[in-house]
Chains A and B, each alone.
Chain A
């Protein structure tokens, strides 16, 4: 019987395997940021340990940084300084704020060519699954594991299960990668992928750009999955080729030959398979407090009583979100629009959104901001004049960082504020205590900013 993509990549990274034990797995790239690493470096210092492979470790600052000119509050400044000092002490490459390569860790590594097919990549951040778009196994780890990887370049992990999500057909107009993943999560639920690596397959996935594939894989954790992956193909290779850290010359050819062998064999079996027809997908808007509580833009806020098992949670969610069952999604007004995060802050996302808002203006009373995922994305967008399009439409144009995705830097919602957000989590308080988050695609976020309520570009 054949082997799946995830098992092929797993097998080639097993350092040690024994019955009744997790595998000891080698890590090809370890991404480090300021929030989940300080305690790990403290642990190394206490034990007198060094970083085993500084050359396979990259540090940046993204979660806790201010994305405008406001000075960070003292407690944040200490954390940011600590990252810089730890990188220096342990000999790591670190991109601090102000550095041209700084940005959200999951945006910068692919841009630099550090994310390539067939690798194992970890980071103390659950959205590490993003890198699976290249056919790598990439997953989020806790701080103790960060320390372990720093010290040993390996990690103990039980081999994940396999799950295929196949999406076939042409996407309807106005439906983007974000809608594909929201559509998947609304079908399989927030724990639908627990224990497994999801491989996204099918003609719809193949037709996505690398940016779109990263958006899909990014939210694998929102389905509870250990990771998400897409088999590398010519789209992948074209993206990687010529990037700073990509293999060059004869090494490139050797790498290509290897990468072409990674795809799941035709006779391989998955533990679980889900099939989705792309024609059934629409622009989605989450209404609740987890990413599976999502409906299409054409729907109404659901009646908890009609939801069976999830009724109690739905009723709680509606109370928190201050929504009434039966309200058309398009009738819900917003206070804020956030275009950014590791899910949707890449150049393609900004292009799509700028096309929607060009020559229009953000609805009065709506606070709208665009936060590019990296300083490279920012520069690229500015070369294309997108910053001016957004600014003229009334959006704030920021520097790179996680910003309003997670409520730990100056960008937060006030209690009760409602936000259309291109980020990945609509948990209670995620964007600030009492804040209300609705997950949408960049196209819907842009149209919503103009309309002042949930909308698609065609509505404008």
Chain B
């Protein structure tokens, strides 16, 4: 996972509720067996509409996506995170992020930022008006700031998660430190539990 301590950048507003992962990347992209090459599929159907924000040159180079509530709902496809990341996003801000999407984001180092609905609305309006508005997400200090419009919020991620982001820790290596605990747990599992082979 990529190390992330601080992100400062411009934002792209996608003011729609319930953006599902089928919209973020449609299923036919999932036929690929690699981890790369998904950026071109980001919002594939919507970007055919010239008025969709991704086609607005003023938002080119944005590194933070600001979206409506329940972003990333639906399918568990991590390809959605890979597509956002490859396109250049480093964080997603919404009042509510879907559970699986949030988990997948953290595996990549895409920072999932949940803020109160009124703050997200304020950011959306501000970014729509001024595409050059800068937002800073500080993982170390656990803050989200947009000084130009007086936004200063807490980044609601637990200490453990922020440490993992800051250090770019490989989850599996971290878990393997607890191999003895896992083995002890396995030894006590009931005998009736099914086995595939």
A contact residues vs B (CB 8 Å cutoff): 15-16, 20-22, 24, 26, 28-29, 35-36, 38-39, 42, 47, 49, 54-58, 63-64, 75-76, 78-79, 82, 92-93, 113-114, 116, 119, 124-126, 139-145, 147-148, 151-154, 156, 190-191, 194-195, 221-222, 224, 226, 245-247, 251-252, 254-255, 258, 290, 310, 313, 316, 406-408, 425, 427-430, 433
The 8 Å CB contact of A142, one of B69, B104, B158, is: B104
Assembly CA distance A21 to B27 (angstroms)? 33
B contact residues around A75 at 8 Å (CB):
31-32
Extra contacts besides A139-B100, A408-B27, A428-B22 (17): CB < 8 Å = A20-B159, A22-B158, A22-B160, A39-B34, A47-B172, A49-B172, A55-B195, A142-B100, A144-B171, A145-B107, A151-B175, A191-B69, A245-B194, A407-B28, A425-B20, A429-B26, A433-B26
Question: Which residue of the partner chain A has the closest CB to B173?
Answer: A47
**Inter-chain CB contacts under 8 Å: number:** 200
A contact residues around B193 at 8 Å (CB):
28, 116, 119
Q: Which of A147, A151, A407, A429 gathers most chain B CB within 10 Å? A: A429
Assembly CA distance A16 to B99 (angstroms)? 21
Assembly CA distance A175 to B100 (angstroms)? 31
Assembly CA distance A119 to B190 (angstroms)? 11
Assembly CA distance A39 to B107 (angstroms)? 13
Tell me whether A93 and B22 are in contact (CB under 8 A): no
Tell me whether B30 and A194 are in contact (CB under 8 A): no
Assembly CA distance A117 to B195 (angstroms)? 14
Tell me whether B194 and A38 are in contact (CB under 8 A): no
CB within 8 Å for A20 and B196 given contacts A290-B18, A428-B45? no
CB within 8 Å for A142 and B18 given contacts A15-B185, A190-B73, A425-B74? no
Assembly CA distance A24 to B172 (angstroms)? 12
B contact residues around A148 at 8 Å (CB):
171-172, 175
Question: Which residue of the partner chain A has the closest CB to B184?
Answer: A15
Tell me whether A142 and B76 are in contact (CB under 8 A): yes
Tell me whether B20 and A151 are in contact (CB under 8 A): no
A contact residues around B81 at 8 Å (CB):
142
The 8 Å CB contact of A79, one of B31, B179, B195, is: B31
